[in-house]
């Protein structure tokens, strides 16, 4: 049989539920779904010693990355409002969930209160020495109402809100009209949301510590020391939805910050890596090392000055000067065979022209 649970229409008027944002209301419905199908009914649990966190509930709710920022602190809020209770084993219990999610009609809160009320009346009658008569049963004789069954009054008392109350032995008529005044009041505004900055996970990439946050807001602020705008936040979420890991975003932001660059430089790095199929910090660091290695293997880029070869006579003259021998003087161009040949060639070209 498929597991199911009861959802009462009074949830729309619950003063605590009405304080939730739209996302938080869906988280509460998800928490009840998870509690209904848990092995220990009414408890959100992963494993002994592992804390059931806000992110676990958000994942069960199927929230997109763009809404994960508004999940942080939800379970703590429910604990404060006495809607949930944490346990030492890491689990979280929805208070009064089982008492409202009874399996037999006779176990309902209304039937339970009716049994308690009759028990109190019986005990009071015994103390006074009077025979006990059920309050809801007709006292006329059978002849006076022949053809009619005994009439039992129906109770329309409203059971207090979803898992937020505890039944008491003292019932009052005012309980049945617990929402008559609330209907005329202004709706309660959601509680102010204060996002907590969580500590990052420290991972070693390339022999260095890399600080990886669960939130893109905290990640961006850690490396660029400023709040990000809505455009950048949506872009970062789109990277995550494309299966780019948060540690690669952190790697690109750290690389940009260490070089004194801004977000645009980091965005260019992320786009370049993503186009090459790189989605993790480890892959990004390896690609960076390969790039630097190739840069070192390239020529140094020094300019080599080219020198024209001098005529043999000039080279010979320089050799004589460097050896300390006196240079030959008084000779004509025609005295040097090489120079004479060059002169003859120039003259022949001039005559040809």
Strands 92-94 and 43-44: antiparallel
Residue 167: closest CA among 177, 157, 179: 157
Calculate what percentage of the chain has a pLDDT beyond 90: 17
Q: What is the DSSP string of 210-264?
A: EEE-SSHHHHHHHHHSS---HHHHHHHHHHHHTT--HHHHHHHHHHHHHTT--HH
Domain ranges in the chain are: 1-131+155-196, 201-297
In eight-state DSSP terms, residue 106 is G
Residue 350 and residue 353: Cα distance in Å, rounded? Answer: 5
C-beta separation of 248 from 279 below 8 A? yes
Rounded CA gap, 239 and 254, in Å?
A: 17
Q: For the segment 189-244, what is each residue's pLDDT rounded down to a tens digit?
A: 554 544 455 678 899 998 889 999 888 888 898 888 888 888 898 899 889 988 99
Exposure on the CB side of residue 212, measured as CA atoms within 13 A: 18
- Residue 268: is its pLDDT beyond 90? yes
Residue 188: DSSP 8-state: P
Q: Look at residue 339 in the predicted model and tell me its pLDDT.
A: 78
Sequence-separated (6 or more) residues with CB below 8 Å from residue 233: 66, 216, 217, 220
Q: How far is CA 90 from CA 79, 85, 96, in A?
A: 14, 10, 19
- Classified as helix, coil or strand, 57 is helix
Read off the pLDDT of residues 340-352 as tens digits, 9 standing for 90 and up. 888 888 888 777 6
User: Which residues, 6+ apart, have CB-to-CB distance to 102 below 8 Å?
Assistant: 108, 109
Whole-angstrom Cα distance, residue 324 to residue 317? 11
The pLDDT of 163-183, averaged and rounded, is 41
Q: 246: exposed, middle or buried (C-beta count within 10 Å: 0-12, 13-18, 19+)?
A: buried
Contact 347, 339 (CB under 8 A): no
Residue 35 · residue 56 · CB < 8 Å: no
Task: Answer for the pair 323, 317: CB distance below 8 angstroms, yes or no.
Answer: no
pLDDT tens digits for 1-32? 567 778 888 888 888 888 888 888 999 999 99
């Amino acid at each position: 049989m498929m597991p199911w649970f009861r959802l009462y229409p009074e949830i729309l008027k619950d003063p605590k539920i009405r304080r939730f944002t739209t996302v938080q209301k869906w988280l509460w419905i998800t928490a009840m779904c998870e509690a209904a199908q848990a092995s220990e009914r009414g408890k959100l649990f992963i494993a002994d010693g592992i804390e059931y966190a806000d992110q676990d509930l958000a994942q069960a709710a199927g929230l997109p990355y763009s809404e994960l920022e508004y999940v942080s602190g939800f379970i703590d809020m429910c604990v404060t409002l006495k809607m949930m209770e944490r346990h030492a084993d890491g689990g979280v219990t929805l208070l009064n969930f089982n008492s409202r999610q009874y399996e037999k009609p006779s176990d309902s809160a209304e039937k339970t209160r009716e049994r308690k009320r009759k028990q109190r009346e019986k005990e009071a009658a015994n103390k006074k020495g009077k025979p006990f008569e059920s309050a809801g049963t007709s006292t006329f004789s059978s002849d006076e109402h022949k053809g009619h069954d005994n009439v039992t009054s129906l109770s329309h008392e409203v059971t207090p809100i979803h898992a937020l109350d505890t039944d008491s032995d003292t019932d009052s008529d005012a309980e049945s009209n617990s929402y008559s005044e609330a209907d005329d009041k202004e709706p309660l505004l959601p509680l102010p949301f204060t996002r907590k900055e969580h500590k990052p996970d420290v991972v070693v990439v390339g022999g260095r510590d890399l600080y990886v946050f669960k939130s893109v807001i905290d990640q961006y602020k850690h490396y660029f020391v400023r709040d990000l705008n809505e455009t950048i936040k949506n872009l970062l979420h789109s990277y995550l939805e494309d299966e780019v890991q948060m540690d690669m975003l952190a790697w690109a932001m750290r690389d940009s910050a260490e070089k004194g660059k801004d977000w645009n430089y980091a965005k260019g790095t992320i786009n370049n890596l993503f186009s090459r199929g790189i989605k993790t910090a480890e892959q990004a660091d390896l690609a960076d090392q390969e790039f630097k290695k190739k840069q070192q293997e390239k020529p140094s880029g020094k300019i080599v000055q080219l020198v024209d070869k001098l005529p043999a006579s000039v080279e010979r003259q320089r050799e004589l000067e460097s050896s300390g021998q006196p240079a030959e003087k008084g000779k004509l161009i025609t005295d040097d065979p090489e120079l004479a040949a060059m002169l003859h060639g120039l003259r022949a070209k001039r005559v040809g022209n």
